[in-house]
Amino acid sequence: ISFNCVDSSLSSLKNCQSYINTGMDIATHVALDLVESFNDVEDVNSVENVMLEYAAMDRELNHYMRAIEETVNQIKREKPENIPDLKNLVKEKFTALESKNSDSDLQRNEKYMYFKDQLKEMRKQFCHQSDNGNEAIEQIDEDIAVTQSQMNFICPITQVEMKRPVRNKVCGHTYEEDAILKIIQTRKQQKKKVRCPKIGCSHADVKGSDLVPDEVLKRAIDSQNKQ
């Protein structure tokens, strides 16, 4: 049995998945824009609902692709004499996977978790900026806060202000994207692990897959430079 058509269909479905990921990225940026422009309640909640809808589509697509792959593998294993009803076999496996769905699945979606994390950080930044605008704060406290904030803008590798900060999901530290990827690539060629470059951090196995763009930090750096 030739599965060329099936492979082609799977490829198309994976393209659809990339569109979902792009949609979730755009929704995340929109939510951060809303927080930054003081529309931080109802509108952001609407965007979060959109993110959950995307997560549900992603889960359904994953289950469908998994059902197809499992059906193909089963047929290759059993090598039946007659061509089985592929459509029904896929439907059965898909229905079985979908029957185990729960709301917690959506909460664990990687893009949704990133959305919630960045939203939390943006709200912290937003509150910090609001506090700085309060005349009751002592000038010395403001100076300390600004200095500490600027220190967070510095890459522990290059020792200069970051332009494209990425955050390590494991230890939470941020680095300039190009700088940390270059180290990871070099160590990989040497077959060595990468220790987190942040002084005092005990994390000894930094992986490229653990790095995510820190959009909130990038916005804070850009805002500081504009000022």
CA distance linking residue 154 with residue 175, whole number of Å: 8
CATH code, residues 165-225: 3.30.40.10
User: Given a cut of 60, is residue 53 above it in pLDDT?
Assistant: yes
Domain boundaries, the chain: 3-127, 165-225
pLDDT at residue number 40:
67
* C-alpha to C-alpha distances, 186 to 109, 159, 179, 204, 210, nearest whole angstrom: 31, 19, 11, 15, 17
Of the given ranges (96-105, 141-150, 187-196), which has the lowest mean pLDDT?
A: 141-150
Contacts of 165 (CB under 8 A, 6+ apart): 155, 174, 175, 176, 177, 213, 214, 217, 218, 221
Contact 190, 208 (CB under 8 A): no
pTM over 0.85: no
User: Given a cut of 90, is residue 187 above it in pLDDT?
Assistant: yes
User: Given a cut of 60, is residue 135 above it in pLDDT?
Assistant: no
CA distance linking residue 109 with residue 53, whole number of Å: 11
The mean pLDDT of 149-160, rounded to a whole number, is 83
pLDDT at residue number 146:
45
Contact 51, 115 (CB under 8 A): yes
**Which residue has tokens 């994976």?**
14
Q: Are strands 165-168 and 211-213 parallel, antiparallel or unpaired?
A: antiparallel
User: Given a cut of 50, is residue 137 above it in pLDDT?
Assistant: no
Per the model's pLDDT, the better-predicted residue between 110 and 42 turns out to be: 110
CA distance linking residue 35 with residue 62, whole number of Å: 31
pLDDT at residue number 128:
55
Contacts of 24 (CB under 8 A, 6+ apart): 51, 54, 55, 58, 111, 112, 115
User: Given a cut of 90, is residue 84 above it in pLDDT?
Assistant: no
CA distance linking residue 207 with residue 12, whole number of Å: 29
Residue 150 pLDDT class (50, 70, 90 cuts): low
Share of the chain above pLDDT 90, in %: 64
The mean pLDDT of 147-151, rounded to a whole number, is 50
What does the DSSP assignment read for 49-74? HHHHHHHHHHHHHHHHHHHHHHHHHH
User: Given a cut of 90, is residue 88 above it in pLDDT?
Assistant: yes
